[in-house]
Structure 1
Amino acid sequence: MAKKKVISNEPETPFHTFTVDQTAEHYSTNTLEGLTSQEAADRLKIYGVNELQGNGGVKWYKVLWRQIANTLVVILIIATILSFATQDFAEGGVILFIVIMNAGIGFWQEYNAEQTMEALRNMSSPTAKVIRDETRATIPNNQAVPGDIMIFEDGDVIGADCRLFEIFNLETDEALLTGESLPVQKNLDQIEHADQSLGDRLNMVFASTTVVKGRAKGIVTATGMKTQIGKIATTLMEVDTNEATPLQKQLNKMAYFIFMAAIILVIIVFGVHNFKYSNEVAIYAISVAIAMIPEGLVAVVTLTMAFGVRRMAEVKAIVRRLSSLESLGAVTNICSDKTGTLTQSKMVAVRMWLPSDGFYRITGTGFVPEGDVFRQGEIDGHQFLLQEEQIPTGCGSDHYLRALEAASLCNMAELRRTAHPDTNGEWSAIGDPTEIALQVLAYKAGLAKPDLIDQGFKLIAEFPFDSSVKRMSVLYQGPGTEEGPGDYFIFLKGATERVIGCCTYWRDGDIERSLIGERGAEGSVSGEKGTERGSFEEMMTEKMDILAEKGLRVLTLAYRRFEPPPGIDLVHGLDRATIEVDMVFLGLVGIYDPPRAESRPAVLKCYDAGIRVHMLTGDHPSTAAAIAKEVAIIPEDCEVKDNPLIMTAGQFDAMSDEEVDSLVELPRVVARCSPNTKVKMIAALHRRNLFASMTGDGVNDSPSLKAANVGIAMGQSGSDVAKQAADIVLTDDNFATIVQAVAEGRRIFANIQKFVQHLMSCNVAEIVVLIVGLAFKDDDHNAVFPMSAVEILFLNLITSSPPAMGLGVEPASETNMHEPPRSAKQGLFSFEVIMDTLVYGIVMGGLSFANFLITLFVFHKGRMGHDCNREYSDSCYGVFRARTTTYASLTFLILAHAINSRAIRESTWTPKSLATLKYNKMLWISIVVGVILVFPVIYIPGLNHNVFKHSGISYEWGLVIAALVIFIAFAETYKFVKRRTMKPLAVASNADAELERMRTYMSQTDSMDVSKQ
């Protein structure tokens, strides 16, 4: 048969509506022989490599452009051009160096972060098993092409979209794609409807999903960006992700203000000189403009962010963009998943209830089958009794042993112990997490599946878990004896509501009680009065509620003896409907996914910081509420029913935006959550002008990660698409890491506030000196420069910028996580920051200019000289010494103000506060170096006269010291007044107050209204 031509760029074909033969014909492949190597190579050229392109990989020029496309950088570039235009090459060269250094640092940091994410993306599903040239081969996954015959086994990550043609007990985890938390049982049935949802395309498997159980073969139908995950990635690439963060917006506004102020100051300079142009006037005008621009600000912000990113990497968080960490500091609400983020994602059976024995407690954690089983009997109300009876391994009542046999044998999970030369090895597990938990329980009880198989139990037939019936059953033949073969048993497990419908009896000790009568354990019917189904189910429901309220997922076990009909094929001749009837109810097992130990302290820390936490999970409302209580998302004493803080996705999604907005409080727990529910929650928070963070791991979480102000993906369990959509990736999937990131974001923002106020105060001081200096004219009626252009640049770049960088790495204050999110404090430029900038700037400028006047008019009789702005002469002796005094005064005041800026209100000049300076090496070293550099600049011949336009001083140092003492005294007095008159920075609320506020809200909410909602 002639080969069909392979066509690229085809529209999506509904292969789930195709038969296997139609699919094979479409791609000209053979299910037995596969493709030849040559055919595969030809198709690779047509279809391209099988990998997600993300945003086309890391584009260096886009990363570089983000560093340059910044308002403040543009202003610096303009200042550079003006400096070169007036032949002030030293000034222009220094500013250009700052621009290049900032772009280089930002580019290096962001490019490395993107490269790290690219590496993480390339790690997923690196190989695939296919049939090539009629033999089974393992190839790089990116070399798979449409038409390949791909083979899947337990634990494999599926490398491409495939139409299945051969399966054995196949279940896949499609939670990353569909949000469905339970594994999906696959089949080969052809589907009629082309528009069938992904979750219902049971004859297909999809790229990046995983095989939970079984094995299969399939024909590759789509690769790379044509897969279902690739289509979502394509959609995400079209979303604009360049919206500025609050800090970026505020810095841009500041840059515009600085630019306008610089223009006004230039106009003032020319106005004072009657708008007559000369090089001296132009240089002075540019000097004033340069004094207004904090040249080091962009570099300091970038370096501070880079240090923050490195600190976050140490606590297992990858920050993809520098601005993301700052954004976390503004978060008012955190929307978190439950499994794996707040919990350990390690299912463990912790409780069991048998009608005849009551409750059992099981100890131990994780996959390690080490622990004990204790019988607790019945309970007092909802409280478990403390009197317990330990059950020895392999012992117990017949009812107990039969229930454990059901848990062990109706189970496909495997526990394995790896060999190790020095230890007994480590335990690992393969299979569904729920089945693993049951198998671990069986091991603890001494009824491990391998042991039962060794004793003679033989698997005859299996009816795997089916999401439509939510149960699984197996047929075993028990151990034989000398008298004959063993009896046959059917074991059943699954969701309680689906298992109980198959049961007509329930085990009560040695008696199997019917809903209409009773029979003995071996099947003989007694005449005693039976228990009606209604009363039994009422009793069982009560026990289920007790387990669910403890945060447990409840499974039901059942069994029955089976008498095979004569002549029937037990392997192939039985159907599910025949097997799963007349079952005997054995009991309930409660499986627990324990919260992380650090989750509750982290949530309480959020409350202290004025941040509210929401749990959005796919679990049952009772289970979700129980975990939420344990981690303090809701109060421990609240009821689940008709609680305004607890909703299902069905309730929340059914509400209109107006109804949601009318809620006094958004729900803290949303159960049975879907991806659309998460997006709706983010939209509701945004309409309340709140700053939201969202966590997610699946492809279906990507829209909510994009919609959130800060999207946080899980690095361990997260999909590639989720990581691409997120701003931050957690490598440990831990909620506590989010809180650490928030704390780090707040520290960074507080430090940015400190050094912005420090830098801008210095600029205000320089402006005060330069503008007031316009009033003094030399013998040629030109303005005398109180400071030269090089002095201004030296102060801005060498004196003030290094201490500002030191302020950028200042440790967090004690109140860092006890202050409200900054949206409640007017952002970066709060009233207090603006006030401090002006007050400190005016005081520093006033003291420095006062020293200029005293030096010039008191010590040197006011001689202005001739052309003192350009070169030194004897007539300029007084001006040059006055200029030096001004420069030295401002230098020491700037360095002192760096220490003063460590705290916005608290004293920084006490011995205790000064002692903590040793923890910030960058700050104190920059101050020491700044002090040392003053002296060579002033006293080195040639450098002082020709470059800085000043000369050495002697007794003028007394004025410098006096100005320093006056400034420190003023700063301490000013802070004292602020502490007495202004509202405290720390919030009064704490975790206890937040939980009490929730209780009050619940008590005041009409339960009828909640139920209607």
Structure 2
Amino acid sequence: MDSSNTVNIFHTISVEEAISNLETNITTGLTSQEVELRKVKYGLNQLVGEDGVSPWKVLLRQFLNVMVFILIGAGILSYAIKDFAEGTVVFVIVALNAAIGFYQEFKAEKTVDSLRKMTSPNCKVLRDGKQQTIQTLDLVPGDVISMESGDVVGADCRLFNTHNLETDEALLTGEALPIQKNGNIVCQAEDSVGDRLNLAYSSTIVTKGRSQGIVYAIGMNTEIGKIAEKLLSAEGNKKTQLNRSLDKMALILLGIALLLAIVVFAANKFKINGEVLLYAVSLAIAVIPEGLMAVVTLTMALGVRQMSKQQALVRQLNSIEILGSVTDICSDKTGTLTQSKMVLVRAWTPKEGIYHISGLGFEPVGEILCEAPSNESSGTVNHIKPKEERVTKSNISKSFDLLAKVSALCNMSEIKHDQDTGEWYGVGDPTEISMQVFATKLGYGKPSLTNSKNKHKVLCEFQFDSSVKRMTVIVETGTGEKLAFMKGATERVVDACTHILESGITTEISSTDLYNYVEPRIESMAEDGLRVISLAYRTVSDSELEGPVDSWKRESFENNLNYIGLVGIYDPPRPESRTSVEKCFQAGIMVRMLTGDHPITATAIAKQVGIIPDIKLDEKNLGASGISVAPSVMIAKDFDAMTPEQIDSLPELPAVIARCTPDTKVKLIEALHRRKAIAAMTGDGVNDSPSLKFADVGIAMGMTGSDVAKQASAIILTDDNFSTIVRAVAEGRRMFTNIRKFTIELIGSNVAELVCLTIGLAFRDVNGKTVFPLSPVAILTNNMLTGTPPAMALGTEKALPDNMHNPPRDVNEGLFNREVILDICVNGFVIGGLSITSYWLVLNVFGDGNLGQNCNLGYHPSCELVFRARGTNFANLTLLILMFAYSCRDTRRQTLSKEKIKTIFENRGLFASFISAWVITLLALYVPGLNKNVFKQSGITWEWGLVFASFAIFFVFDALYKYIKKLTFAPLYTPTEKQLELQEIATKMAQEYE
């Protein structure tokens, strides 16, 4: 016997075959000796985690990064030239990034830890012929365990002796409702996890009834263990394109810095003294945008804060970058697109028509409208007033009166009102709660009917039994009349009926004719995603109630009933889901729904939220033929049966997959990746965690999500709302766009400095020594003024108007595409050229060209012209770069357009950076001692004309450059044919909504 190799067959064999395969005895259980042998063979019933990770190794890995090495070198050089402020900032940046990386390393182990915590600590097992309570950890294959309501199942087991057993398997299947189990049946091999009704799974919860089971899988061989294994095998965080782009940029800039240092030495004929070395080091530091990593981190941190205000908590910073490239959102249904609240929204009684019930949630407020049948009173609508408008019995037909009373009294649930919070909540089965809420809307809630005024009394309850799929209660009314009320599955209720109640008149009818009569209405409700419950009643004679209540048999009362009608219940979509799906389509993002629900229900909800067109779908058209009949909808077992080649040959992947398993979700993610799609996966259960891990961005539900799902995800939605995902995507797009903006500004300003300072090496004094166009202090000051402050301000820019009207950005293009590189180089060369030109004009055109002697070391009367030229150059270079920062707010639209001028003060950080630069520039030019002794420059007068002339030239150039780009460059994001189709669908959805 090797259970590890046969764990997938036990739903396909009988109990007797399971006993034989597992070599056990269901009467006495395993012996103690056999248990010990099996413990040695199979190990403990626990989930296995990864090997421990040394914190010191993790910490060391945070520094094994190209940019970090360069920053550390830049920090050391800063201290070497006594620029302590810049050196300190650099090392703070390095420490901040290391701390963030260190924290992220432990998420995989936390995920498995949270899985371990979900297992039940104890269970009841039969061993040596005796019932024992042991630790779940000690279960072995072949053990016979017992379970009852409230227990957590300790291992995967084949059920037998089931009595009204229901289990909550939401953590594996995603289904909101408990699953009815039956140990006497044999399932098909292709049945999914949720359809294997003769099995119970580790960590699921028994919600009703009792049963025994034979353990066939423990630890990592259980269904939850398979999920843990997938999580451990999932690849860890890879470097994103942004990370790789920054690494590549760092290496290039390092090479440029070393090259420029050699150029400086060569320009001085390798006669390296203090001033030459200082200039070379200053120039090399100017090349490295040491503030870039800080600005990227802080921009993302600010984005994280903004997203948290919008109910999205970001666990992994790099997920923000990927959000802007998402092409497909694979969403769970329950609690994400829907409200995770069962609501009774429709009822039907023969001859009287359809009742539409408004009001969602547990609060018993809403209006009920009766739409009369067209063949009786076409167009007539009878209004039944809600409780708060004092309904009288004269407003309600006999059939609907009974429908409401059966809903309230054949019901074990309660709805309650929290006086402190003002919230309504339900206690009991979700279906029964919805029926209780409906009845209470009419003033027929159980407390109202059983109070001292109405005096209804429930004499006996025959609870819902999965073998008969119905519930019956015996009720005594306030007048002393005895009635039997029944609710349940239509086919089982119809079997117990011999009459039908039509407009208050009882008519005899056979069960077959009755079912044929109500079937069209059932199908109609099912197509709308409703779960249908039928209701019936009959009068009970006193002779039937003889003897004690305990002696009454349900079979005696569940016959000769009068069929009243049916109600439709469903988990309603969130009101904002359809609008959110529309926004996704407009942004070129495909929305897919993956759910454990029945395909008819899944299709109906998908139509309501706009994921698929409003098509008629018959259950018999699903399955293998569903690929050709309804390519938008598939059942998981059909999708799972396809090979990767068959999936890849499909024109489009399905928009809805019903009866999903964890493997189905991962398989879809893999198929999307083969199509070069960037997938976000939402979910809340343990069953969602593998796909959350494998997806490019995993998004877990914060309110209903399990710890496992949260730990496996990159983002957690605190409101469990699909619309929050759309806002998160918009924020991700905004942040990446802003990162590009300040990258262009930061590196473009560095290029401008390099052009100016490198060309400046050509100016020599009478001794043949280079006369620096800026002093080392001025270089570093310029670098600080024009670097981090405006870049941080650009990181806070609001989203552009077309942020969510463009298709997703290609995640593979990285940070530096052709346009970004062009913007950096062209603007850098223009600004640097204008600046060094002003330096040359002051020296050689408006001056006599006298460069004095040793003007790099200090002021001498012969250096006045050089000092004034440096002052002009410093003002020009510093303030032009700040002007360039305003241009970077939008790299395509005109900087001086009316729209942009109106928002010139909107970015307060950028405006503050601009004003601060002016103030510091004026101080550096005109404060005695500071100007000539520290910055080695003089105040300027008429030279301001050259500065303002440079401004004018730059703005003209900026306007022409952006105009040429508009004519010659393709749109920022070119939509694919599929994305154009999605945008067209979004437009139609918006028109329908209006």
Q: Return the offset for 1:544.
A: 2.2
Q: Is the 8 A contact 1:146 1:222 kept in 2?
A: no
Who is 2:365 aligned against?
370
1:920 aligns with 2:907: yes
Does structure 1 conserve the Cα–Cα contact (< 8 Å) formed by 2:471 and 2:488?
no
Gaps (5+ residues) in structure 2? 1-17, 36-43, 124-134, 140-144, 386-390, 622-628, 989-994
Aligned residue in 2 for 1:461? 462
Distance 1:975 1:633 in 2: 39
Does 1:75 pair with 2:70? yes
**1:249 and 2:241 aligned:** no
Q: Distance in 2 between matches of 1:174 and 1:764?
A: 60
- Aligned CA distance change for structure 1 residues 716 and 583 (closer, same or farther; 3 Å): same
Q: CA RMSD in A?
A: 5.1
Q: Is contact 1:315-1:737 (8 Å) kept?
A: yes
- Deviation, structure 1 residue 218: 13
Aligned to 2:723: 736
**How far apart are the structure 2 equivalents of 1:281 and 1:591?**
82
Q: Deviations over 1:471-490 (max 9, x none)?
A: 6333433428999x946x36
1:517-556 Cα shifts (integer Å, max 9, x gaps): xxxxxxxxxxxxxxx54xx555433222322333323233
Amino acid at match of 2:439: A
Amino acid in structure 2 at the alignment position of 1:543: R
User: Does residue 440 of structure 1 match 2:417?
Assistant: no
The question of whether the paired residues in 1 share the 8 Å contact of 2:62 and 2:101 is answered with no
Q: Structure 2 CA distance, aligned partners of 1:775 and 1:499?
A: 98
Which 5+ residue runs of structure 1 have no aligned equivalent? 1-13, 29-46, 132-142, 517-531, 1002-1013
Pick which of 402-411 and 919-928 moved more.
402-411
Q: Does 1:704 align with 2:682?
A: no
Deviations 1:599-624 (A, max 9, x none): 22222222222222112223333433
Distance 2:847 2:798 in 1: 47
The structural deviation recorded for 1:311 is 0.5
Q: Separation in 1 of the partners of 2:312 and 2:929?
A: 52
Distance across 2 between alignment mates of 1:475 and 1:441: 19
Partner of 2:89: 98
Shift of 1:715: 0.2
Quick one: distance in 2 between partners of 1:653 and 1:1000? 34
Whether the 8 Å CA contact 1:937–1:943 is kept in 2: the answer is: yes
* Residue from 362, 367, 388 that aligns with 2:382: 388
Equivalent positions of 1:320-719 (< 5 A) are 320-378=315-373, 387-390=381-384, 396-419=396-419, 426-450=423-447, 454-464=455-465, 466=466, 472-479=469-476, 486=482, 489=484, 491-494=486-489, 496=490, 508=502, 510-511=505-506, 513-515=508-510, 533=513, 537-558=515-536, 571=550, 585-636=563-614, 642-719=629-706
> Cα deviations across residues 779-833 of structure 1 (Å, max 9, x unaligned)?
4544332233333322222333201111110111111111221118944323222
The equivalent of 1:9 in structure 2 is none
| Equivalent-residue separation in structure 1 for 2:57 and 2:927 (angstroms) | 46
- Cα 1:623/1:712, change in 2 over 3 Å: same
Q: TM-score, normalised by structure 1?
A: 0.78
Question: Which whole-Å CA distance do the structure 1 matches of 2:604 and 2:955 have between them?
Answer: 56
Counterpart residue type for residue 346 of structure 2: R
Partner Cα distance (2:375, 2:802) in 1: 45
Q: Which amino acid aligns with 1:462?
A: Q
| Cα distance in structure 2, aligned partners of 1:569 and 1:985 | 81
CA distance in 1, matches of 2:966, 2:873: 32
AA in 2 matched with 1:630: Q
Amino acid at match of 1:459: C
Q: 1:947 to 1:321 in 2, by over 3 A?
A: farther
Contact persistence 1:800–1:894 (CA under 8 A): no
Give the drift of 1:852.
1.4
TM-score by length of 2: 0.80
Q: Structure 1: how far apart are the matches of 2:925 and 2:66?
A: 35
Partner SS, residue 971 of structure 1 = helix
What is residue 900 of structure 1 aligned with on the other side? 887
What is residue 313 of structure 2 aligned with on the other side?
318
Distance 2:986 2:295 in 1: 45
SS in 2 for 1:374: strand
Query: Separation in 2 of the partners of 1:66 and 1:572?
Result: 73
Contact 1:206 1:228 in 2 (8 A): yes
Residues 753-792 of structure 1 aligned to structure 2 (within 5 Å): 753-792=740-779
Partner amino acid, structure 1, of 2:248: K
The structure 1 residue matched to 2:797, chosen from 782, 806, 810, is 810
Residue type of the alignment partner of 1:431: G
CA distance in 2, matches of 1:216, 1:447: 36
What CA distance in whole angstroms lies between the structure 1 residues aligned with 2:668 and 2:221?
30
Cα distance between partner residues in 2 of 1:107 and 1:173? 42
Contact 1:166–1:216 (Cα < 8 Å) also in 2: yes
Distance (whole Å) between structure 1 residues aligned to residue 427 and residue 900 of structure 2: 56
2:752 maps to amino acid:
A
Compute the displacement of 1:946 (Å): 4.6
Say whether 1:289 aligns with 2:290.
Answer: no
| Preserved contact between residue 678 and residue 704 of structure 1 (Cα < 8 Å) | yes
1:235-246 superposed matches below 5 A: 236-237=231-232, 239-246=234-241
Q: CA deviation at 1:657?
A: 2.0
* d(CA) in 2 for partners of 1:222, 1:685: 32
SS class of match (2:381) = coil
Aligned partners of 1:146 and 1:789: how far apart in 2? 72
The one-letter code matched in structure 1 to 2:425 is: S
CA drift of 1:927 comes to: 1.1
Greater CA drift, 674-683 or 70-79: 70-79
| Secondary structure, counterpart of 1:340 in structure 2 | helix
SS in structure 2 at match of 1:919: coil
Provide closer, same or farther for how the CA distance between residues 481 and 290 of structure 1 changes in structure 2, counting only shifts above 3 A: closer
Whole-Å separation in 2 of the counterparts to 1:80 and 1:711? 37
Change (3 A) 1:274 1:19: farther
Q: Which residue of 2 aligns with 1:751?
A: 738
Query: How many residues are matched?
Result: 927
How far has the Cα of 1:210 moved from its partner?
A: 5.6
Shift of residue 105, structure 1, vs aligned partner: 4.4
Deviations 1:38-89 (A, max 9, x none): xxxxxxxxx99x99999989x98788667645432222223344x27xx833
Q: Which shifted more, 64-73 or 617-626?
A: 64-73
Name whichever of 952-961 and 391-400 sits farther off: 391-400
- The one-letter amino acid paired with 1:342 is L
Which sits farther off after the overlay, 599-608 or 448-457? 448-457
Moved more, 366-375 or 320-329: 366-375
Correspondence for 1:7: none
**3-state DSSP of counterpart to 2:804:** helix
- Aligned counterparts of 1:320 and 1:26: Cα–Cα separation in 2: 48
Judge conservation of contact 2:72–2:91 (CA < 8 Å) in 1: no
Deviations 1:574-621 (A, max 9, x none): 588x98777765433211322222222222222222222112223333
Q: Determine the structure 2 residue equivalent to 1:522.
A: none
Distance in 1 (CA, whole Å) between partners of 2:581 and 2:864 is 66
